[in-house]
Amino acid sequence: MSSSGHKESLSPFMAQFPIAPIVLLLFGLVGILLLTIPSQDVQDPPGFMYGIVLDAGSSHTSLYIYKWLADKQNGTGVVTQHSECSVDGGGISSYAGRVGAAGRSLRACLNRAVQEIPKEKHPNTPVYLGATAGMRLLRMSSPQQSDQVLAEVGGEIQSFPFSYRGAVILSGQEEGAYGWVTVNYLLENFIKFGFVGRWFSSGRATVGALDFGGASTQITFATQEKVEDEANRKELRLYGHDYALYTHSFLCYGQDQLLKKLLAQIVKSQGYTPEVSHPCYPANFTRSLKMADIFDSPCTVQYKPDSYNPQRSVTLLGGGHYENCLGNVSKLFSYDGCPFSRCSFDKVFQPKVTGDFMAFSAFYFIHSFLQKVTGVKISTPPQLEDAAKTVCSMNYSQLQIMSVGEKPDREKDYCASSVFLKALLLRGYGFDDASFPHISFKNTAGDATVGWALGYMLVLSNLLPAESAGVRKTLTVGAWGMLLFLFIALIIICVFLLFRARSKRKKGGDENAI
């Protein structure tokens, strides 16, 4: 058939079924609908915001850089740890009396933060310094020096191009509560990360937090029981939910101050003689100290002799005796005269411990060393007691061999610290055969260090203004659904018409052939 004949055969069909005008009509209708469908304002992703927290502990300071997307979820930023910098030297309280030294100690880590955070973000990056028990003790002994140290570190931080938000001394209750927030955030007990970058409420039960620092120890957990002492009650709102916590901080029960307190008690019990047997020190260990090294803390002032000579020396001889060590450590706790329905120790109210707990900071390092020495995964009270006995029976040379890779200045203290861990958790806080296995000992979770700093940033991020972002128009979900329906209907109609046209062409061809 010639091409002219083919065109002639199609002309009647095109006259009956004008496909092109129909398609154009449908597209026109869709265009009209687009003009009438409601739209909504949305913000383009604003990128990351950054925050810096300086954890000024009693024995050292750490700088943490956190980041989170500026479009916060339920009023609280989704914060992750970007990096960590450990400040050289001791805690800022150790620089008391040395003008400018505390501020200078932070300089190297702050310079590192300048390099790691994008330059355009510097002016809107908040910096917080939180000091804990070391500074609480300094404030007790010398308020003037405490204020001077805070002023010096504040001045140093303000010389950097960030948004300085203050240097404060946290209360023990705040330290405990923020540590609890960190633990539960890292375990995804508040929210859980889902697909396409969204977070969802996890609905999980929260986990208690056990912190063992240099100068204080904290216990924090959610409870349904009435908290009889309001000083131990803390309420937080995170990700649209309210949490009622029990929290208490025991000042002078951190590892460093506890060891100093134990030493002062032993020296006093032996009449302040020039030579003292220390049952918690390992056998074959000797050490000489000046009295000022023992009694220079507010935690040991109650043991100070009447005729106090700070320059007088005392020689300590290791005894390596578990039972005597336990007896001396137990004297540091008081279980008499509880004014509430129940107490932990030292007349402090505490509800019964329930649920799971995470123990971190020095708790983790002591527990890890005990497992290293015994080769046993310690998860029951009898295992904990056996491990403490094993460590206390080791002489100094044996401990030096076992503690390779650990801090060398801690070797002599492992027996005392192990006994204290046992006494605090089992007798003090009331963990037993049923509840002790629910304690996990950790130093990190995910990519973040466990401690109060991340919880501090999480709570404070709720107060930060959201970063401005570009606004554009977009269709609502319902509008997109309608357009998708019309588009599919258009395709179906076009396919139907094409098939019908092909059928007509075939039929016409057959008739011409006849």
Do 378 and 433 fall within a single domain? Answer: yes
Cβ–Cβ under 8 Å, residues 425 and 387:
no
Do 382 and 483 fall within a single domain? Answer: no
Comparing CA positions, the residue from 206, 171, 200, 213 lying closest to residue 186 is: 206
The more confident residue out of 498 and 22 is 498
pLDDT band at 207 (very low <50, low <70, confident <90, very high): very high
The pLDDT of 383-392, averaged and rounded, is: 97
Condensed to tens digits (0 to 9), the pLDDT of residues 434-443 reads 999 999 999 9
Condensed to tens digits (0 to 9), the pLDDT of residues 345-368 reads 999 999 999 999 999 999 999 999
Please return the burial class of 406, using the count of CB atoms within 10 Å of its CB with bins 0-12, 13-18 and 19+: middle
Cβ–Cβ under 8 Å, residues 310 and 292:
yes
Do 308 and 427 fall within a single domain? Answer: yes
**Residue 142, in any domain of the structure:** no
The pLDDT of 123-140, averaged and rounded, is: 96
The answer, yes or no, to whether residue 5 has pLDDT greater than 70, is: no
Of 159-168, 244-253, 476-485, the one with minimum mean pLDDT is: 476-485
Comparing CA positions, the residue from 373, 355, 457 lying closest to residue 411 is: 373
The pLDDT of 461-487, averaged and rounded, is: 57
Do 365 and 427 fall within a single domain? Answer: yes
Q: How far apart are CA 192 and CA 200, in angstroms?
A: 5
According to the model, what pLDDT value does residue 384 have?
97
End-of-domain residue from the set 391, 423, 441? 441
Of 32-36, 236-240, 330-334, the one with minimum mean pLDDT is: 32-36
The more confident residue out of 264 and 191 is 264
Do 430 and 286 fall within a single domain? Answer: yes
Do 498 and 397 fall within a single domain? Answer: no
The answer, yes or no, to whether residue 476 has pLDDT greater than 90, is: no
The answer, yes or no, to whether residue 343 has pLDDT greater than 70, is: yes
Question: For 168, phi and psi rounded to 5 degrees?
Answer: -130, 160
The pLDDT of 207-235, averaged and rounded, is: 96
End-of-domain residue from the set 401, 423, 441? 441
Active-site residue among 152, 156, 174, 175?
Answer: 175
**Residue 11, in any domain of the structure:** yes
Global pTM reads: 0.80
**Residue 96, in any domain of the structure:** no
Do 370 and 495 fall within a single domain? Answer: no
**Residue 285, in any domain of the structure:** yes
Condensed to tens digits (0 to 9), the pLDDT of residues 61-97 reads 999 999 988 766 556 667 889 999 999 999 999 999 9
Do 378 and 297 fall within a single domain? Answer: yes
The answer, yes or no, to whether residue 106 has pLDDT greater than 50, is: yes
Cβ–Cβ under 8 Å, residues 176 and 253:
no
Do 365 and 416 fall within a single domain? Answer: yes
Cβ–Cβ under 8 Å, residues 351 and 227:
yes
The more confident residue out of 183 and 236 is 183
Do 371 and 304 fall within a single domain? Answer: yes
Label residues 53-63 b or e (16+ Cβ within 10 Å = b).
Answer: bbbbbbbbbbb
According to the model, what pLDDT value does residue 6 have?
46
Tell me, what amino acid is at 396?
A: Y
Count, residues in the chain: 514
For the chain, the domain total comes to 2
How many DSSP H helices and E strands does the chain contain? Answer: 16, 20
From residue 277, how far is each of 141, 287, 301, 313, 332 by CA, in Å? Answer: 30, 11, 21, 14, 18
Cβ–Cβ under 8 Å, residues 475 and 37:
yes
The more confident residue out of 465 and 113 is 113
Of 162-176, 211-225, 356-370, 471-485, the one with minimum mean pLDDT is: 471-485
Q: How far apart are CA 54 and CA 495, in angstroms?
A: 66
Average pLDDT, the chain: 86
Cβ–Cβ under 8 Å, residues 213 and 57:
yes
The answer, yes or no, to whether residue 163 has pLDDT greater than 80, is: yes
The pLDDT of 253-267, averaged and rounded, is: 97
The answer, yes or no, to whether residue 260 has pLDDT greater than 80, is: yes
Q: Is there a catalytic annotation at residue 175?
A: yes
Condensed to tens digits (0 to 9), the pLDDT of residues 407-455 reads 777 899 999 999 999 999 999 999 999 999 999 999 998 788 999 999 9
The more confident residue out of 514 and 398 is 398
Do 370 and 507 fall within a single domain? Answer: no
The pLDDT of 470-494, averaged and rounded, is: 63
Cβ–Cβ under 8 Å, residues 89 and 76:
no
The answer, yes or no, to whether residue 33 has pLDDT greater than 80, is: no
CATH of the domain at 437: 3.30.420.150
Do 284 and 433 fall within a single domain? Answer: yes
According to the model, what pLDDT value does residue 410 have?
86
Quick one: how far is CA 424 from the chain centroid? 23
Domain residues for the domain of 36 are 3-42+472-513
**Residue 237, in any domain of the structure:** no
Q: How far apart are CA 27 and CA 186, in angstroms?
A: 52
